[in-house]
Structure 1
Amino acid sequence: MNWLTVVVQAGWSAHFLAILDAMALPRTPLSRLFTVLLAGLLAGLVLAVTVLPGNLLLGFAARSALGSYSSLPDVLRTPATPQRSYLYANDGTTLIASFYDVNRTDVGLDEIAPSLQAAIVAAEDRRFYDHGGVDLRGMARALVANVTGGETSQGGSTLTMQYVRNVLKTDPGLTAEERAAATEQTVERKLQEIRYANALEQQLSKDEILNRYLNIAYFGSGAYGVSAASQRYFAKTPAELTLSESALLAGLVQSPEAYNPIDGDQEAALDRRAYVLDAMVATGEITAAEADTAKVEPLTLRPTSQPNGCTAASGGAGDWGFFCDYVRQWWLTQPAFGETVEEREQALRRGGYTVVTSLDPELQATAQQQVTSVYGYDNERALPLAAVEPGTGRVLAMAVNRHYSLAENPAGQPNYPNTVNPLISGGGSIAGYQAGSTFKLFTMLAALEAGMPLATGFDAPSQLPTRYPAEGDASCDGRWCPGNANPAWMDGYRTMWDGFGRSVNTYFVWLSEQVGPEKVVEMAQRLGITFRSDADAAFAENNAENWGSFTLGVAAATPLDLANAYATVAAEGTYCEPLPVVSVTAPDGSVVPVAPSCERVLDAEVARAATDAARCPVGQQSSTNQCNGGTATSVGRILDGRPVAGKTGSSEGNATETFVGFTPQVAVAGIAANPDDTTDAVGSAVQARVIDAVAEVISTAVQGQPEQAFVAPSPELVGDPRRPVERPEPDRRQPEPGDDRGPFAELRRWLEGRG
């Protein structure tokens, strides 16, 4: 038994406490040094009393305290506690999702109810405003209680010391082993805690320390800090807490799991609340009458779970899960949030960022309603849809009739009815869907860029022999011979206006031959079309000059890529990378630059000319009144005459049905398909519903915005519609021996078989 134990048990404890009571020294320079010396001595004695012989520890404790007095780690100077990141819609208030490893959001002291501030001081450190970081009297009381087996209302650690301990064990720069060491009950750890607490008191005001403590303390049930705790237990902000609620929360930090009223013992929580209220009376913060009133208040909990991740964003009118996932995938590619993907993931889940996304909640609700009116959630076929803002690339809506969920699918299908695959934006196992004649836009742009005017005419036949080798039903004399879907309506002399308006296959295959298929492929890539399937990527890279069917949309594309490509035309040739955010703000208020990344990829006159022809499909007129038929004339009616343009697309056998529409303010694309079965043809009957769904989304997007007209194209790119162009002789060349045995023959036959 050492000498300190003998002294205490011999009845000297009262005298010992009286002496130490005088050590509640003010924070003056001389007293700080004295406090450190005594604190180091006492801390060593407290923790080593049963481990080391009595006076062996004295010199070690004092020397250790003095030797490290000036050291303070950066994490304590500028704490980087893990915090929850929030994703909001573009209105800045509609919460889409949050991400966190630790459920915490820092708030200022002025955002915390004064009753909670007073309650935590009364419960945990009544002498907080008197000591310099170490309460020697409190430590002595705890020592006496520990040695004699008695009880003490408060432990020996001050709020400042508790704060130090919490910061060290949550330091993101430490390993798991190092964080565990921060809470070990060792002499060295206690001395370090005392040193750091004393140093902090020299640098921070009491209010700053209290604020930091309230933001880092654990309140049980997964809630770190008062903001998360007030939301978790009472579904309110910490500024809105009542006296009774404040006392309950303040009582939790001593033993969060034991006093947790949601998952633990409610009676114990109420007893602890009563203790805190009595402590507040003792400190003079409230009257006994106020405490009595608060004690009899019923425990009115409103347990609220904070959503975590994108699966929690699924469901409801907006069904934001797929957009949320797109934001997350974008985030993981941004160097501003870390050098590696892992660091960026940690930044999102622990960095406390406030992200205002580009999602328009009203437009998203309309988009979700429209796609589910075409195909319900119980339909294996899907209608993924995306809306993009021209000139910025900001993604305004992403909708599909699927649940963004990790739940198992009853039939074992990958994407029905639950999936987390990017059905709208592509990636992973999702290469996209055949977009059909919407790809004719790229042929028209390539031709216009080559100097061929809109008036370029061709007597389009029902079937056109080409120079590309082919076999099977699409072959005539060994060459690919595409045909028109409706010869009676499509055949005959056509220009770009009515060729685009009526979607005449043979006109655009001929036009592609004139300009070169490789130029068409390059144009699509320039406007953001990404080839995600190995077959498409290989053909584009190695055999684009023979990809004659590309103009008919045989390559896979996603609604987001299509919407953004057409948005480039709407923006008169300015391509912008798809961008799902408006602003990103760090916890310290600094703004992370997230401006649109745009570049001119088309001459404005080329884009204007293409737009002029793209008004024909939707039932409107070109600048020179050359439209005489369209495949999506309902769009003009739905937009009530507002300037709009667009293009339909049907793949071989109506396996997919597509429509892309745009105004100067928005571009929207939707593709009806079966993501799990490309052989399941959606049929031509659904095309009209896809067209109307896209048009309704456009209508919502432009509602309340000033009407903007399209700029008419230059006379040079309009040309002379009255001067017919002679139809050239068909190419009668036969395939050379071996043409069908080249390295791309099988790939070519497979692609041609896709339509």
Structure 2
Amino acid sequence: MGVKGDGRDIGRLVGRVIILVRTGLIMGVVVAALALPLAAVVGYGVKASVDQINSQAQSLPDVPPAQTSRVYAADGTTLISQFYEENRTPTPLAQVSPFVAQAIVAAEDSRFYDHHGVDVKGIARAFVTNSRSGQVAQGASTLTMQYVRNVLRQAARTPQELQAATEQTPARKLREMQLAVAVEQRLSKTEILERYLNIVYFGHQAYGIAAASGVYFSKRPAELTLPEAAMLAGLVQAPSAYDPAGDQRAATTRRDYIIDRMASTGQLTRAVADQAKGQPIALRLSEPPSDCGSTAENSWGFFCDLVKSWWMEQPAFGSTPQERLSRLRRGGYRIVTSLDVNLQGSAQRNLTAKEATNSAFAHGLVAIEPGTGRVRAMAVNRVYAVDQSHNGPKVDQQGRPTNTTGTYPNTVNPLLGGGDLPGFQAGSTFKLFTMLAALEAGKPLATSINSPRKYRSNYPAAAGEPASCGNRWCPSNASAAMTGQQTMWSGFGKSVNTYFVQLEQQVGADKAVAMAERLGLRWRTATDKLQASADNAAGWGAFTLGVADTTPLEMANAYATIAADGSYCEPLPVLNITDPDGAPVMSGEKPVDVAAPRCRQVFNPEVARAAVDAARCVTGYGAATSGVCGGWSTAPTVYPTVKRPVAGKTGTTDNNQAAWFVGFSPTLSVASFIADPDNPLHPVGTANLNKPIRSAAETLRDALAGAPARDFAAPAATTAYGPGGKKPGQGRSASPKPTPSKSR
């Protein structure tokens, strides 16, 4: 064909195309011409193409585009992070600058409002161009066909389906055309354009116009100017080639071409077009947070990780972990968490003021709300980051550096709980479980036991156990001042080991282990699982002294249970979760809100109140009855710091390898620890023992400031002293004077 004959050639082709449309055979011929060099079309069976496509589903899959799930703090507005496979926020066309629609139509399909899904004139021109070049030099995809292609990609769930949606074959092109015609019969042009703008890719992980306007210009799509809209429209054809962050000259050339197209189609005057072209591209790039490694505040990363871990365990989001993760990254959920950002900030400051992020010792805490299980803060002196290339070395038991990299300051290990790590030994904080088992068995707080400095127990000594007397385990107290008659009040307040080992013998170590399990503790190491088994739990005498591993999350929640009158609530990091339609996510055979507290009564409220009363002896606040605490305690600075009703328990392990404090009020429970995650045998030393006490007390103080003071309920006389026993005194006021006390 000669150049002079182009117009006649196209006219003849259009006539043939119209005839083929009427006979239903256009698709096979046109697709072959567009997709293959002209010589390759010879022998291609049109009927085969039609039969192949007709054997496939002829309706467009009704699969919603992947949407971004957003995670907010408890205030419902502070964005913590996002989870997405495709960064996308569906946006109505009415909330998009009109320049965007004009620019997209000018750039991709200027006859969009004239055709019915397939542009016959465009196909004819492409046919001629491709026939001359011997290759696909020009396409003829309309916006509707592009929309169809994107939906088919979105619906692909296997590599084979994805290949079928993207392969350059006449069959695939034919199916697109058929589906485009069907879409045009079902949707208006406005609906098609809106859906297109919400599904198309703009580069930089931005899917849809809302994500694109945020990534490139840090603004809402309604605020896009003419030059900005034209630049974004130019990205659709080739996001990498026209990326303004990489090649601004190419991006500008493409933008200006689109502005000229808008002027040539009458959407702009030449003066407006020239003015727009004269403006430089002014980017305000922003990287949207993704997953927990890019939270708005780094200290939120560990809490975000807890949210993700919790999500992965919820059947409401799928039957497998893979399905649940896919829902999180594609489902467009709004997740309002329980994180109090002010309390989190306070906790982080309190911790890092005492232990720097570049310390081998991890110093952290978890704060939980009694009665709901909601996690209010989760902080540690670490940086939530995967890159550990510049981390400090692990150290040996003497604190000397080794040749192995440690987990400080950067780590994503769940040091505070919510993952698979076993945690740390928590020392005497475990005495709570023995005391609860004894109280539940009917023993009153006034149960008196002579407690020597060293005691020969009934429990067998473990192999190599240093605290042994022949074949028996023989624990001792930290101080000679603990010797003598003790009750649960004084034994708990002073942390008298020999009292609690004898109390454990009276009620059974297996009962103490079972109590810990009822309060949410899980055994993760092989040793702990073996010791806690039905065959061995009764002989696990050292359990009461905290030789099992646990996490701050578990311990904060266990103590929150006694603060809540014996109501155990599963740790819960969310307040509410809604789907893209704004409906709450429900779970279970009898559907309940997946974000609702999951609580159950695990023992009588009187048991809880008695345990709280003994725990008041620890903090300097004092029990409901004066004089029963024994005159001194292991954390006497807590009440003067908090200046509110407060209880708790200290805990240290052998050789001071870890130190703990769990403190609580009626409305908040805080568990704090310090230990070396890389080497549990590396002792924190006596100088660090008070750091968990101080950090927990300061965090409780900050959390309760300005809130009405609430006191604990005193136990009944029979719970405190037994049947016919002494009547306890009146409950203490909210601000009593601290009694003289002595630190361990």
Q: Please give the TM-score of this superposition, normalised by the length of structure 2.
A: 0.87
Structure 2 vs 1, CA of residues 20 and 112 (structure 1 numbering), >3 Å: closer, same or farther?
farther
> SS of 2:376's equivalent?
strand
Amino acid at match of 2:88: R
Give how far 1:353 is off: 2.7
1:7-64 per-residue CA deviation (whole Å, 9 max, x = no partner) reads 995641453488699x8xxxxxxx9985976566644554467146689867677888
Amino acid at match of 1:514: Q
> SS of 1:319's equivalent?
helix
Give the equivalent residue in structure 1 for 2:455.
464
Structure 2 vs 1, CA of residues 146 and 526 (structure 1 numbering), >3 Å: closer, same or farther?
same
| Residues 1:367 and 2:315 aligned together | no
Matches within 5 A, 1:604-683: 604-625=605-626, 626-627=628-629, 628-640=631-643, 642-683=644-685
Match of 2:266 among 284, 293, 296: 284
Give how far 1:709 is off: 2.2
Structure 2 vs 1, CA of residues 20 and 577 (structure 1 numbering), >3 Å: closer, same or farther?
farther
Greater shift in the superposed pair: 601-610 or 707-716: 707-716
Structure 2 vs 1, CA of residues 35 and 223 (structure 1 numbering), >3 Å: closer, same or farther?
farther
Matches within 5 A, 1:439-588: 439-470=430-461, 473-476=466-469, 478-488=471-481, 490-541=482-533, 542-588=535-581
Give the equivalent residue in structure 2 for 1:301.
283
1:579-629 per-residue CA deviation (whole Å, 9 max, x = no partner) reads 222223333444323222221111111111111111111111322223332
Matches within 5 A, 1:137-286: 137-147=121-131, 155-173=139-157, 175-263=158-246, 265-286=247-268
Distance 1:376 1:152 in 2: 62
Structure 2 vs 1, CA of residues 172 and 501 (structure 1 numbering), >3 Å: closer, same or farther?
farther
Give the equivalent residue in structure 1 for 2:698.
696
> SS of 1:385's equivalent?
strand
Distance 1:71 1:252 in 2: 30
Distance 1:721 1:630 in 2: 28
Match of 1:333 among 313, 328, 345: 313
> SS of 2:422's equivalent?
coil
Structure 2 vs 1, CA of residues 473 and 167 (structure 1 numbering), >3 Å: closer, same or farther?
closer
> SS of 1:459's equivalent?
strand
> SS of 2:405's equivalent?
coil
Structure 2 vs 1, CA of residues 457 and 138 (structure 1 numbering), >3 Å: closer, same or farther?
same
Structure 2 vs 1, CA of residues 672 and 61 (structure 1 numbering), >3 Å: closer, same or farther?
closer
1:704-731 per-residue CA deviation (whole Å, 9 max, x = no partner) reads 433322222122202169979xxxxxxx
Q: Is the 8 A contact 1:80 1:172 kept in 2?
A: no
1:663-713 per-residue CA deviation (whole Å, 9 max, x = no partner) reads 222111011111122222112332322211011222233334333222221
1:374-408 per-residue CA deviation (whole Å, 9 max, x = no partner) reads 21111111112111121221222211112222223
> SS of 1:484's equivalent?
coil
Distance 2:127 2:521 in 1: 72
Percent of aligned pairs with the same residue? 50
Give how far 1:343 is off: 2.0
Distance 1:454 1:47 in 2: 86
Greater shift in the superposed pair: 401-410 or 388-397: 401-410
- Where does the alignment leave 5 or more consecutive residues of structure 1 unmatched? 24-30, 725-755
Give the equivalent residue in structure 2 for 1:415.
407
Distance 2:425 2:47 in 1: 80
Distance 1:259 1:127 in 2: 24
Distance 1:37 1:487 in 2: 100
Distance 1:231 1:104 in 2: 10
> SS of 1:15's equivalent?
helix
Structure 2 vs 1, CA of residues 149 and 658 (structure 1 numbering), >3 Å: closer, same or farther?
same
| Residues 1:402 and 2:382 aligned together | yes
| Residues 1:310 and 2:292 aligned together | yes
> SS of 1:661's equivalent?
strand
1:447-480 per-residue CA deviation (whole Å, 9 max, x = no partner) reads 1101111122223222222212337652345432
Give the equivalent residue in structure 2 for 1:71.
58
Matches within 5 A, 1:336-347: 336-347=316-327
Distance 2:8 2:677 in 1: 81
Give how far 1:70 is off: 8.3
Greater shift in the superposed pair: 430-439 or 216-225: 216-225
Distance 2:492 2:56 in 1: 79
Structure 2 vs 1, CA of residues 391 and 35 (structure 1 numbering), >3 Å: closer, same or farther?
farther
Structure 2 vs 1, CA of residues 655 and 20 (structure 1 numbering), >3 Å: closer, same or farther?
same
- Where does the alignment leave 5 or more consecutive residues of structure 2 unmatched? 394-403, 587-593, 727-744
Distance 1:717 1:333 in 2: 39
Q: Please give the TM-score of this superposition, normalised by the length of structure 1.
A: 0.86
Distance 1:224 1:158 in 2: 19
Amino acid at match of 2:532: A
Distance 1:89 1:60 in 2: 57
Distance 2:4 2:490 in 1: 102
Give the equivalent residue in structure 2 for 1:389.
369
Amino acid at match of 1:15: G
Distance 2:9 2:308 in 1: 60
Amino acid at match of 1:399: A
Amino acid at match of 2:58: S
Match of 1:438 among 419, 429, 440: 429
Give the equivalent residue in structure 2 for 1:747.
none
Q: Is the 8 A contact 1:468 1:548 kept in 2?
A: yes
Q: Is the 8 A contact 2:156 2:165 kept in 1?
A: no
Distance 1:339 1:70 in 2: 28
Q: Is the 8 A contact 1:92 1:356 kept in 2?
A: yes
1:259-313 per-residue CA deviation (whole Å, 9 max, x = no partner) reads 11112x3222112111211222233333322222211111111222223322223
> SS of 1:259's equivalent?
coil
**Residues matched between the structures, number:** 701
Amino acid at match of 2:99: S
Amino acid at match of 1:424: L
Q: Is the 8 A contact 1:8 1:147 kept in 2?
A: no
> SS of 2:529's equivalent?
helix
> SS of 1:257's equivalent?
coil
Q: Is the 8 A contact 1:40 1:64 kept in 2?
A: no
Distance 1:678 1:621 in 2: 34
Give how far 1:657 is off: 1.1
Distance 1:62 1:669 in 2: 69
1:541-565 per-residue CA deviation (whole Å, 9 max, x = no partner) reads 1322122221111211111110010
Give the equivalent residue in structure 1 for 2:597.
596
> SS of 1:185's equivalent?
coil
Give how far 1:526 is off: 0.8
Distance 2:23 2:652 in 1: 82
Distance 2:262 2:137 in 1: 13
Distance 2:48 2:704 in 1: 75
Distance 1:543 1:226 in 2: 62
